[in-house]
Amino acid sequence: MSKNNSSAQSGGLRGKLNNMTDTNMLLTITIIAFFLMYIGAMIFLKGGFLRTQTFFNILNANAALIVLSCGLSLVMITGSIDISVGGVTALITMCCAVYLDNMGGNVAVSVLIALAIGLAFGAFQGALVAFLDIQPFIVTLAGMFFAKGMTTIVNSNPFNVSNESFTALKNTRITVPGMGFVNAKGIYVDAYVEIGVIVALLVVIVMFCMLRWTKLGRAFYAVGGNVQSALMLGINVKKTKFLAHLLCGLLSGIGGYVYFLHSGNGAVTNAAGAEMNAIASSIIGGTMLTGGVGNIIGTFFGVLSFSTIQNIVTSAGLDEAWWTGITKAVILCLFLVIQSIVMSRKKK
Amino acid sequence: MQNKSKSGIGAFFSRLVRQQYFIPLTALVLLALFNLIADPAFFKISITTNSAGNAVLAGTPITILDYGSELAILAIGMTLVTAASKGQDISVGAAVAIAGSFILRMLCGGDSSSSTLHMPIICAFLLGCVVAMLFGAFNGVLVAFFKIQPMIATLILYTAGRSIAAWFNNNELPIIKDATFSYIGGFIPGVPIPTPFFIAVICVIVITLVLKFTNLRLYTEAVGINENSARLNGLNPAAIKILSFVILGLCVAVVGLIKVSRVSSINYSVIAKDIEMDAILAVALGGNSLSGGKFNMATSIMGAYIIQFLTQTLYKYKVPSEALPAYKAVVVILLVVMSAPTVREYFSNLMKKMKVKEAA
């Protein structure tokens, strides 16, 4: 941020805001919004929000969403979209559940199955989008319906996995040192996170580094920003788009397995609406739908803000089923409009 | 193409392929042939007595006519939206739930098991139209003024729609006991053909007249083909886009009325489920470009009935309704791959090469 603020001719906050790049501005808004919200919740709602474990529970419940959102940010930065991630996640949970329980498979192979399914969807959709120039929406909408349909074909009834080595992995808790709290009985309880959170954080770090410091990462931004200029720079646009979808597929494979680790069951309703949550989180995190702008750290905070809002809504007593849907939609709408205004202001 | 190549079977065939009616008609013939060979009983129509004591027609073709009509009405609106905004509305299913729920709320007046209608059906329907058109306008404003891609913009309502529908009725399931209400989605006494078909016919006549006597088609296509030149020619692209979404809203309200009338009640999570996919598929099957511009309403409507034909065929082979989307997704992918410019170019090049070989 600082290098952009230093221009001398424009003073004051407004000038500073004008000089910030889109990414940094949206990122700053998100991070400030998240902290304000969380602190606000701590002050006004007290209860659970004062306990550190609440924060870690948000992480535990949304580890999969973090991974999926990273994938979506990648394709969105490239100027494309993928709305099949929720369906693919459901398909992965069902396939892994059937494999582990009904076929008595082992955990390592189930991870490979998850990755293979994700990669297959990514490769197929990527090929159609990149090499045949078909609108990514139609392709991935078809992908979403295909995945959901396939899930019921694999097995139509939801069931919990009872495979022992899997449940052991699922219940593994990693203690976070120094973040514990004293419960009502006066006993010190350690704060914990699940394995999925570690995976999600690793994904965030790897993707952040990839986007910032590798040739491929810069190519993603270039293609999303302006296809013509990217071509003139000698970037293979088609290959870049394909790779973005492939990576998103891989990440939905990882995200699907992380979801499976958290929920421990296979069901068609798993991750219902995850595509929308992931898109919303990416947008909140400052990724532009028009492509070329975005930041994985922003996406990470986007997921946190998005899920914190939901937590606040439920703790505030609005826990009827419909409020969740409506709040999510309102948040997405709000951020879409903010983005659109930021974009149009920039053009002037 | 040159004049002399117009003669001959090959040329006739290539001209046929270029007709927009080609894709839907081929699909129809293929489906019909398949069913005829597999089981001719598929086309059997019989006269039965329904629960209300009327003699009505029954059989798979009648079911196709019945349920295909809902889809045909939606396809009208979806075609306009696709042509004007270069994208599709994926919130139609959720919007049908909203419209249906609102109509029920108006009819029962908050009392979920009232035995009398709270207001005439036509009033409730008109209010439902207003609500559905408002939601359509909401989508339209997001698309036209905030320049958000249609599918992302409608994703908002896609997520919230069913929640809003449940909220209208306090998550209760109102039941309408009035018999006349069930005529709309069923049969009018003495008429053996399902009412939704007549409603669809009315909608088709209305849209045909509108397209014939107003500039709607010209304006919509102009905006879809090139928004900037449309603006320079004095059109207001934003208004036309919003108008297309509002018309879709009207179609949604009609479908909502039919849907809730069928069961005289509502199930928020099931009503009109996955119908957005069918509506988009109908437009694509009608040979219309999914990236906007010129459109053909007649083929879209044909497409809608063919989709229902496909659905019924799949049902016949015991495909569960939850698994249907997987098959339809394959059809969508095939259609978009066939109509992709790159693929077309490849095939036309291939044809040219073959012709050169023949000549040599």
Query: Which of A97, A91, A110 has its CA nearest to residue A153?
Result: A91
Taking a C-beta distance cutoff of 8 angstroms, is the pair A111, A121 a contact? Answer: no
Cα gap B246→A315, rounded to integer Å = 37
pLDDT given for residue A92 in this prediction: 92
pLDDT given for residue B292 in this prediction: 83
pLDDT given for residue A20 in this prediction: 53
Give a yes or no: residue A24 inside a domain: no
pLDDT given for residue A8 in this prediction: 40
Sorted by sequence, the CB contacts under 8 Å of residue B137 that are 6+ apart come out as B242, B245, B246, B249
Instruction: Read off the pLDDT of residues B47-93 as tens digits, 9 standing for 90 and up.
Output: 887 776 777 888 888 889 999 999 999 999 999 999 999 888 989 99
- C-beta atoms of A149 and B164 within 8 A: no
Averaged over B260-280, what is the pLDDT? 86
Give a yes or no: residue A9 inside a domain: no
Taking a C-beta distance cutoff of 8 angstroms, is the pair B153, B281 a contact? Answer: no
Domain that holds residue A271: 48-347
- C-beta atoms of A128 and B336 within 8 A: yes
How far off is chain B from A239, nearest CA to CA, in Å? 16
pLDDT given for residue B131 in this prediction: 95
Residues forming a β-bridge with A266: A159
Instruction: Read off the pLDDT of residues B105-119 as tens digits, 9 standing for 90 and up.
Output: 888 876 766 677 778
Looking at this protein, which amino acid is placed at residue A274? A
Report in angstroms the alpha-carbon separations of A193 from A89, A161, A173, A184, A257: 21, 21, 6, 21, 16
Rounding to the nearest 10 degrees, give the CA dihedral for residues B245, B251, B254, B255: -100
Averaged over B326-346, what is the pLDDT? 83
- C-beta atoms of A134 and B171 within 8 A: no
Structure tokens at A133: 């120039």
Give a yes or no: residue A85 inside a domain: yes
- C-beta atoms of B277 and A146 within 8 A: no
Cα gap B58→B92, rounded to integer Å = 29
pLDDT given for residue B225 in this prediction: 92
Asked if the model's pLDDT at residue B345 lies above 90, the reply is no
Residues from chain A that touch B283, judged by Cβ atoms under 8 A, are: none
Taking a C-beta distance cutoff of 8 angstroms, is the pair B274, B71 a contact? Answer: no
Sign of CA dihedral B92, B94, B97, B98: negative
Residues from chain A that touch B153, judged by Cβ atoms under 8 A, are: 336
Give a yes or no: residue A93 inside a domain: yes
Give the domain CATH number at A241: 1.10.3470
Across A264-297, b (16+ Cβ under 10 Å) vs e yields bebbbebbbbbbbbbbbbbbbbbbbbbbbbbbbb
- C-beta atoms of A321 and B163 within 8 A: yes
Cα gap B171→A63, rounded to integer Å = 31
State the pLDDT confidence band at B180, using cuts at 50, 70 and 90.
confident
- C-beta atoms of A149 and B327 within 8 A: yes
Sign of CA dihedral B176, B177, B182, B183: negative
Query: Which of B134, B105, B112 has its CA nearest to residue B248?
Result: B134
Structure tokens at A249: 């597929």
Q: Any chain A CB within 8 A of the CB of B158?
A: yes
State the pLDDT confidence band at B148, using cuts at 50, 70 and 90.
confident
Number of cross-chain residue pairs from A and B with Cβ atoms under 8 Å apart: 136
Q: Is B293 exposed, middle or buried (0-12, 13-18, 19+ CB in 10 A)?
A: middle
Identify the residue whose tokens are 């290098």.
A3
Query: Which of B126, B150, B125, B148 has its CA nearest to residue B136?
Result: B150
Cα gap B150→B142, rounded to integer Å = 8
Cα gap A298→B28, rounded to integer Å = 50
Cα gap B295→B20, rounded to integer Å = 10
B contact residues 277-336, partner A, Cβ 8 Å cutoff: 277, 280, 284, 290-291, 320, 322-330, 332-333, 336
Taking each helix axis from N to C terminus, what angle separates A195-213 and A296-315, rounded to the nearest 10 degrees? 140
- C-beta atoms of A137 and B149 within 8 A: yes
Total domain count for chain A?
1
Residues from chain A that touch B147, judged by Cβ atoms under 8 A, are: 340, 343-344
Q: What is the CA radius of gyration of chain A?
A: 21
Query: Which chain B residue has the Cα nearest residue A91?
Result: B326
DSSP state string for B304-358: HHHHHHHHHHHHHTT--TTTHHHHHHHHHHHHHHHH-HHHHHHHHHHHHHHHHHH
* CATH code for the part of the protein at B18-318: 1.10.3470
pLDDT given for residue B13 in this prediction: 67
Say what the pTM is: 0.83
Looking at this protein, which amino acid is placed at residue B131? V
Cα gap B63→B312, rounded to integer Å = 8
- C-beta atoms of A128 and B280 within 8 A: no
Nearest-CB residue to A289 (from B148, B324, B336): B148
Taking a C-beta distance cutoff of 8 angstroms, is the pair B61, B32 a contact? Answer: no
Structure tokens at A286: 């400052």
Nearest-CB residue to A135 (from B153, B291, B320): B291
Q: Taking the CB of residue B289, how many other CB atoms lie within 10 A of it?
A: 16
Q: What is the CA radius of gyration of chain B?
A: 22
Structure tokens at A274: 């995850």
pLDDT given for residue A18 in this prediction: 54
- C-beta atoms of A276 and B340 within 8 A: no
Report in angstroms the alpha-carbon separations of B177 from A232, B254, B260, B265: 68, 20, 12, 9
Cα gap A201→A300, rounded to integer Å = 9
Nearest-CB residue to B329 (from A131, A142, A156): A142
pLDDT given for residue B3 in this prediction: 46
Rounding to the nearest 10 degrees, give the CA dihedral for residues B35, B37, B41, B44: 70
Structure tokens at A243: 């790779």
Nearest-CB residue to B164 (from A134, A326, A344): A326
Cα gap A1→A295, rounded to integer Å = 14
Cα gap B132→B168, rounded to integer Å = 13
Give a yes or no: residue A39 inside a domain: no
Cα gap B158→B272, rounded to integer Å = 12
How far off is chain A from B277, nearest CA to CA, in Å? 8
Q: What is the mean pLDDT of each run of 10 residues along chain A (348 residues)?
A: 41 52 69 82 73 82 92 92 91 90 83 94 93 87 90 85 82 75 71 86 92 90 89 90 94 93 83 83 83 86 86 72 78 82 71
Residues from chain B that touch A83, judged by Cβ atoms under 8 A, are: 151, 155
Give a yes or no: residue A336 inside a domain: yes
Helical ranges in B145-236 per DSSP H: 150-168, 179-183, 195-213, 216-225, 227-232
CA A83 to chain centre: 12
Across A320-329, b (16+ Cβ under 10 Å) vs e yields eebbbbbbbb
Cα gap B360→B349, rounded to integer Å = 17
pLDDT given for residue A11 in this prediction: 45
- C-beta atoms of B163 and A139 within 8 A: no
Comparing A136-150, A242-256, B230-244, B331-345, the range with the smallest average pLDDT is B331-345
DSSP-derived 3-state class of residue A234: coil
- C-beta atoms of B290 and A138 within 8 A: yes
DSSP state string for A94-123: HHHHHHHHHS---HHHHHHHHHHHHHHHHH
Give a yes or no: residue A36 inside a domain: no
Residues forming a β-bridge with A175: A192
Taking a C-beta distance cutoff of 8 angstroms, is the pair A278, A83 a contact? Answer: no
Instruction: Read off the pLDDT of residues B2-51 as tens digits, 9 standing for 90 and up.
Output: 444 445 666 666 666 667 777 788 888 888 888 888 888 878 888 887 77
Instruction: Read off the pLDDT of residues B282-326 as tens digits, 9 standing for 90 and up.
Output: 998 888 888 888 899 999 999 999 999 988 888 888 888 888 888
Domain ranges of chain B: 18-318
Q: Percent of chain B scored above 90 by pLDDT?
A: 38
Give a yes or no: residue A28 inside a domain: no
Cα gap A279→A302, rounded to integer Å = 10
